[in-house]
Amino acid sequence: MQTIFSDLHARHHPGLEFYEGELKHYHDTPNRAQIVLDALRSAGCAAPSAPQDFGLDPILAVHRADYVTYLQRAYADWVGDGGIPAGVFPDVFPMRSAMRHGGRILRPTKPSALAGYYSFDLTAIIVEGTWEAVYHSAQCALTAARIVHAGAPAAFALCRPPGHHAHADLCGGYCFLNNASIASHWLASSTSTAKEGQTRVALLDIDFHHGNGSQDIFYSRDDVLFVSLHGDPSRQYPYFIGAADECGEGPGYGYTVNFPLEQGVGDERYLDVLAQACERVARYAPSYLVISLGVDTYQFDPLGDFALTSAIYPRIGALIAQLGLPTVFIMEGGYAIEQLGLNVAGVLSGFEEVRPS
């Protein structure tokens, strides 16, 4: 299958993040993308293609305009205000009770406070090249979506930074623009293959972490089904949302499905739950499937606590392929650098064995 990749991802390279109370090396390192590319080349995959440029419109269809403007200007404004060149860090977050005042919080002008207004944690650090990187990461997702829309059985967007934690107007968890949501919305808005007037898209998130941003973006919609398998958020990042009783609201009720899982999940248990998730996707009968592909479910991942072996990843790809749906794979997390390439290539090759392109 075709891989879409932009080397501009490397413009985003924060050195440090707050981790367990200390400044530690940033987990979303630029070499993650290179490692995946190398593994795909070794697996005999075709060389990657650069993304096409869809402009800002498909991004603005998912993200708030003021947030997008913030992402574009944050670094310059921060430095202009005397901020350290290492990157933008929030120093305050809105208090929940501020919402009492007419359901809104005041938008500050001070760059460090504005960063708190648009962030939910300290890990989405904005450096000089962040906007360029996230813009092209989103374009990779859109290009892969277009390839599948045009009839390919599958495509892989090697996105970096990842996206599934980003809300319409919030960054966090190394994410700024929600690549999988942007691709899903673009596909859901495409009319050429719409049966009965509406194109349905299933967004299946198999990153170790709950896709809080994707869930929130589609929470009240029935044209995008969001299904996620993840470490239980009562124990694991991103905390606060992602429980099994969150099912969507209004017209979206029943179209959010969460499988929060216990520590130490092994291969057979994971495949069993993934099969349940796939059954829900099949029942929805979507026109397209988008996969938020994280391999931080791997047993030695520093940010996860599952116990999956590398042998599971081709089986995951095969199970997804058995749905028989046009499928867009979007890269999310995976931080066990030595096995990252093998595990990602495993999912894609497992898919291709069932559905060759």
Contact residues for Zn ion, defined by CB under 5 A:
207-209, 294, 296, 333
- Render the burial of 153-163: b for 16+ CB within 10 Å, e for the rest: bbbbbbbbbbb
The encoded tokens of residue 266 equal 């092994």
CB half-sphere exposure, 276, CA atoms < 13 A = 11
Picked from ligand OKP, Zn ion, none, the partner binding residue 218 (CB below 5 to 8 A depending on kind) is none
Nearer to ligand OKP, 83 or 304 (CB): 304
Q: How far apart are CA 27 and CA 266, in angstroms?
A: 24
Nearer to Zn ion, 12 or 221 (CB): 12
Biggest CA–CA distance in the chain, Å, is 58
The encoded tokens of residue 171 equal 């960054």
Q: How far is the CB of 151 from ligand OKP (least distance, A)?
A: 31
Picked from Zn ion, ligand OKP, none, the partner binding residue 352 (CB below 5 to 8 A depending on kind) is none
Q: How far is the CB of 343 from ligand OKP (least distance, A)?
A: 13
Q: How far is the CB of 230 from ligand OKP (least distance, A)?
A: 9
Q: Is 232 in the site for ligand OKP (CB under 6 A)?
A: no
Q: How far apart are CA 277 and CA 279, in angstroms?
A: 5
Cα 180 → chain centroid: 5
Instruction: Among 156, 174, 255, 288, indicate the residue that binds ligand OKP (CB under 6 A).
Output: 174
Q: How far apart are CA 112 and CA 109, in angstroms?
A: 9
Query: How is 24-35 classified by DSSP, letter by letter?
Result: EE-SS-THHHHH
Q: Is 333 in the site for ligand OKP (CB under 6 A)?
A: yes
Q: Is 209 in the site for ligand OKP (CB under 6 A)?
A: yes
Contacts of 48 (CB under 8 A, 6+ apart): 2, 3, 4, 5, 37, 40, 158
Q: Is 296 in the site for ligand OKP (CB under 6 A)?
A: yes
Q: How far apart are CA 136 and CA 68, in angstroms?
A: 14
Q: Is 233 in the site for ligand OKP (CB under 6 A)?
A: no
The encoded tokens of residue 110 equal 């001070």
Q: Is 87 in the site for ligand OKP (CB under 6 A)?
A: no
Q: How far apart are CA 153 and CA 286, in angstroms?
A: 14
Q: How far apart are CA 202 and CA 259, in angstroms?
A: 15
Which of 13, 136, 165, 210 is an active site residue? 165
Nearer to ligand OKP, 77 or 296 (CB): 296
Nearest to 59 by CA among 168, 175, 132: 168
Task: For residue 165, indicate whether it is catalytic.
Answer: yes
Nearer to ligand OKP, 153 or 242 (CB): 242
* # of chain residues touching ligand OKP (CB under 6 A): 14
Nearer to Zn ion, 294 or 326 (CB): 294
Q: How far is the CB of 97 from Zn ion (least distance, A)?
A: 31
Nearer to ligand OKP, 260 or 286 (CB): 260
Picked from ligand OKP, Zn ion, none, the partner binding residue 321 (CB below 5 to 8 A depending on kind) is none
Picked from Zn ion, ligand OKP, none, the partner binding residue 123 (CB below 5 to 8 A depending on kind) is ligand OKP
Q: How far apart are CA 211 and CA 38, in angstroms?
A: 27
Picked from Zn ion, ligand OKP, none, the partner binding residue 173 (CB below 5 to 8 A depending on kind) is ligand OKP
Q: How far is the CB of 333 from ligand OKP (least distance, A)?
A: 2
Residues of the shown chain interacting with ligand OKP in the complex, contacts defined by CB under 6 A = 20, 123, 162, 165, 173-174, 207, 209, 237, 294, 296, 303, 332-333
Catalytic residues: 165
